[in-house]
Amino acid sequence: MARVFSGIKPTGNLTLGNYLGAMRRWVEVDQHQADAVFCVVDLHALTVEHDPARVRRLSRQAATLLLAAGLDPELCTVFVQSHVDEHARLSYVLECVATDGEMRRMVQYKEKAARERERGGSVRLSLLTYPVLMAADILAYGTDEVPVGDDQRQHVELTRDLAVRFNQRYGHTFVVPRATHPVVAARVMNLQEPGSKMGKSDDSGPGIVYLLDEPDVVRKKVMRAVTDSGQGVVYDRAERPGVANLLEILAACTGGNPEDLAAVYDSYGALKKDTADAVVDILKPVQARHRELCADPAYVEGVLRVGAEKARGMARPIVDTAYRAIGLLPPV
């Protein structure tokens, strides 16, 4: 059975992009067909200006939402990254095979560093080395497949490069993983700025549908989505990105195909109304289960405790092998 690893960063409230681009596939496919490991990657949330209490709250909320979305601890492993020391241990060793040039070429680093500077802040060193920690997250578990949205493609490529380089220099240690992407909704765009990804740490509230938004808030956001000035409902990502985004969201929620759906509508209003309804419907059971789980925090904590133990058991032998291979003396 293939080992699958993926994670979610507690940098903001989880969005429809996180759900359609990643979580839904973890729930519907990966946990059933693979030996799947899912992680709230809280260490990654410290790479930009952060508030400790907020990170703690969002980490708990992300873990609860993963379970609410349908991850089943009987079928897969769910845990919090900082509860398993192997991630940080392996990250340092991988920093010793990565180069600073590689890090500076990462698109997400360039974008986020620019954003930090615009806000007048300084850029944390951990933002630069973030992709190495992500590589450690993946390689520590002997991962075969990493199901992620399109935005993470470059980081998984880097992970592959580091694994191959390490194996060539120090002997075969790591499985070389590959990224897998959803067919529809690999990249859900911001409803107000359809040229940008719907990201949870963006400031543009009205353009982002959060998983815990009330139905009337979801409807308002979708009905106010920016569309294009062209005539008719046409699926064209390059020329008509706003409408294409709505068609992709509707297709992802209803199991349809954006091109076919475009032919069904002759007005933006009808498309928006059906898209809003489809999003409300898909979020309803997740929100209901989230409310139940919030009333039972001991259950969530128990899942995370057992998950961390299982994760340690998987990661420790691989990280120990990497330590020996690179030349570190075993503890006496």
Q: Give binding residues for ATP as ranges.
A: 9-11, 17-18, 149-151, 188, 197-201
- Minimum CB–partner distance for residue 104 and ligand AQP (Å): 18
Closer CB to ligand AQP, 188 or 261, in the complex? 188
Residues 6+ apart with CB under 8 A from 30: 4, 6, 36, 76, 147
Query: Of 86, 61, 49, which Cα lies nearest the Cα of 9?
Result: 61
Percent helix, strand, coil in the chain, to 5, is 60, 10, 35
CB of 177 to ligand AQP, least distance (A): 14
Q: Which is nearer to ligand AQP, 238 or 298 (CB)?
A: 238
Site for ligand AQP in 19-58 (CB under 6 A): 21-22
Q: Where are the extended beta strands (E) located within 26-137?
A: 35-40, 77-80
Residue 80 pairs in a beta bridge with 40
90 vs 86: CA distance, rounded Å: 6
How far, in Å, CA of 274 to CA of 223, rounded?
10
How many binding residues for ligand AQP (CB under 6 A)?
23
Q: Which two tokens stand for residue 37?
A: 């490991």
**309 is written with which tokens?**
């133990």
**Catalytic-role residue among 110, 197, 220, 272:** 197
* Identified binder of ligand AQP from the candidate list 4, 5, 8, 315, rule CB under 6 A: 8
Answer whether 48's CB lies under 8 Å from 9's CB: no
Stretches 81-89, 198-206, 248-256, 293-301: which one binds ligand AQP (CB under 6 A)?
198-206
Contact (CB, 8 A) for 178 and 144: yes
- Which range in 6-14, 52-60, 93-101, 302-310 contacts ligand AQP by CB under 6 A? 6-14
Q: Is 220 a catalytic residue?
A: no
Give 217: exposed, middle or buried? Use CB within 10 Å, 0-12, 13-18, 19+: middle
For ligand AQP, the closer of residues 38 and 166 by Cβ is: 38
**Cα–Cα distance measured from residue 92 to residue 283, given in angstroms and rounded to the nearest whole number:** 39
Annotated binding site for L-tryptophan: 137
First to last CA, the chain: 35
Q: Does the active-site annotation cover 200?
A: yes
Which window, 2-10, 137-145, 165-173, 277-285, contacts ligand AQP (CB under 6 A)? 2-10
Closest approach, Cβ 153 to ligand AQP, in A, equals 9
Measured from each CB, the residue nearest to ligand AQP is 21
Which of 24, 60, 87, 197: binder of ligand AQP (CB under 6 A)? 197
Near ligand AQP in 199-218, by CB under 6 A? 199-201
User: Minimum distance from CB of 198 to ligand AQP (Å)?
Assistant: 4
Known catalytic residue at 197: yes
Which residue from 88, 85, 10, 14 is spatially nearest to 53, judged by alpha carbons?
10
Exactly one of 17, 177, 207, 242 binds ligand AQP (CB under 6 A); that residue is 17
Beta strand pairing call for 77-80 and 35-40: parallel
Residues noted as catalytic: 112, 197, 200
Q: Which residues bind ligand AQP (CB under 6 A)?
A: 6-9, 11-12, 15, 17-18, 21-22, 148-149, 151-152, 186-188, 197-201
